[in-house]
Structure 1
Amino acid sequence: MKNMLSVATAMSLWLVMIAPAQAANGNVAAGQAKAAVCAGCHGADGNGGADPLWPKLAGQDSAYIAKQLADFKSGARKDPIMAGMAAPLSAADMKNIGAYFASLKPKPGAAQDAQLAKQGEKVYRGGDAKMGVSACMSCHGPSGHGIPPRFPKVSGQNAAYTRKQMLAFKAGSRANDGEIMTRIAFRMSEQEIKAVSEYMAGLH
């Protein structure tokens, strides 16, 4: 009887301990229900829709997704479509949606231009000392999986989407993630941005 009570007590304590963690990370099932409308652009499996300018979200860090949704809602990050989508979401909804997309399995991407990707690899792994551009992998990791929650996963992302975002950082029209990307992208040429975006599309 004592052993049974000890097991029951241990289980109760364990449930108490994991409940706050689950709440902090979001509820996948609740996120899936809320994210049903997202499939039109981001794909039913989170691996992207028909337009390459729409990002893949499968496997992305949950906290990063929640932050971007909050920024779309507040206007810190500008996008007319996403502003409308994020407007009715609560902070809990955003966490849940983030947890759902983080739980999905990302499909490996592929570079379409091998020569361009080779140019991009040099910048991704070695930076551009002459222009004061640090290696992309110093923040996003050698395999592009990021350092969550601040630095997102970039491997396998649509090249067109990555290029669009980097050009936005370069122009200063996107500044919701601190100054690091703004400073780095500003110093990169448009050709370097195009090459790095192509390389990251096939990185995994």
Structure 2
Amino acid sequence: MMKVAWLLAALLVAGNSWAEADQARAKKIVMGSCFLCHGEEGESASEVFPKLAGQHAEYIAKQLENFKSGKRKNTAMIDMVSRLTPEEMEALGKYFAAKSAPPETVKDPDLAAVGRYIFYKGNKFSGLPSCATCHGKDGMGTASLPRLAGQYASYVQAQLKLFGKRERTNDNAVMHSVAANLSPLEMAAVAEYVSGQ
């Protein structure tokens, strides 16, 4: 019994050491290039770039891999991730997932109110499903679907437009038909709402 307890303790210490080494490696990568656009804590330097803080680790790692493979198009990101290993992508995902992601201040409460309705109820007149069906009632997403809560409204709106035009094809294909059914007003409204979640 003592050998088992000792072995478990040794594995725990080794696991913690590996986790600390991964975080140190991720921080070095972040400070080398990621922080320029996404900020040291994943808070993002501009609404053009997504906030990574609080995003799911697996989702971040998948996006990095998609940029590297060319499945997701963005010349700047393709160059940035070209030398990252799968382990480094995973470490970066965990690094940003551990950061806090405060919501944005809603700039247009009336628009956000329309977005709230669409987020939870969809639009039965156009056949639009609710966003909460996939992204969760709080917009927190899953390991395979992004967290929307607290993301910049302009970034969310830009991504919805790309999905609607089928210019973003690396993620859930369902988003193509969903985004294609969103009017410009609905896109802006949903984006404004989730930014304040």
Tell me the TM-score normalised to structure 1 length: 0.88
Are the structure 2 counterparts of residues 23 and 123 from structure 1 closer, same or farther at C-alpha, using a change threshold of 3 Å?
farther
2:59 aligned with 1:100: no
Q: 1:150-165 to 2 correspondence within 5 Å?
A: 150-165=144-159
Contact 1:111 1:198 in 2 (8 A): yes
2:130 aligned with 1:135: yes
Give the CA deviation at 1:27.
Answer: 2.4
Give the CA deviation at 1:69.
Answer: 0.4
2:35 aligned with 1:39: yes
Contact 2:106 2:195 in 1 (8 A): yes
Aligned-partner Cα distance in 2 for 1:120–1:11: 54
In the alignment, structure 2 segments of 5+ residues that lack a partner are none
% identical aligned pairs? 35
1:82-118 deviations in Å (ceiling 9; x for gaps): 1111111111110111111111111221211111101
2:44 aligned with 1:56: no
Aligned-partner Cα distance in 1 for 2:120–2:106: 16
Contact 1:28 1:103 in 2 (8 A): no
Which amino acid letter does the alignment assign opposite residue 151 of structure 2? Q
In the alignment, structure 1 segments of 5+ residues that lack a partner are none
> Post-superposition, which runs of at least 4 consecutive aligned residues in structure 1 deviate over 3 A?
14-24
Aligned-partner Cα distance in 1 for 2:7–2:25: 24
DSSP-derived class of the 1:110 partner: coil
Who is 2:190 aligned against? 196
Computed over aligned residues only, the root mean square deviation of the Cα atoms, in angstroms, reads 2.2
Which amino acid letter does the alignment assign opposite residue 185 of structure 1? A
Are the structure 2 counterparts of residues 197 and 22 from structure 1 closer, same or farther at C-alpha, using a change threshold of 3 Å?
farther
Contact 2:65 2:89 in 1 (8 A): yes
Aligned-partner Cα distance in 1 for 2:13–2:74: 36
Give the CA deviation at 1:12.
Answer: 1.5
Which amino acid letter does the alignment assign opposite residue 42 of structure 2? G
DSSP-derived class of the 1:131 partner: coil
Contact 2:30 2:40 in 1 (8 A): no
2:64 aligned with 1:69: yes
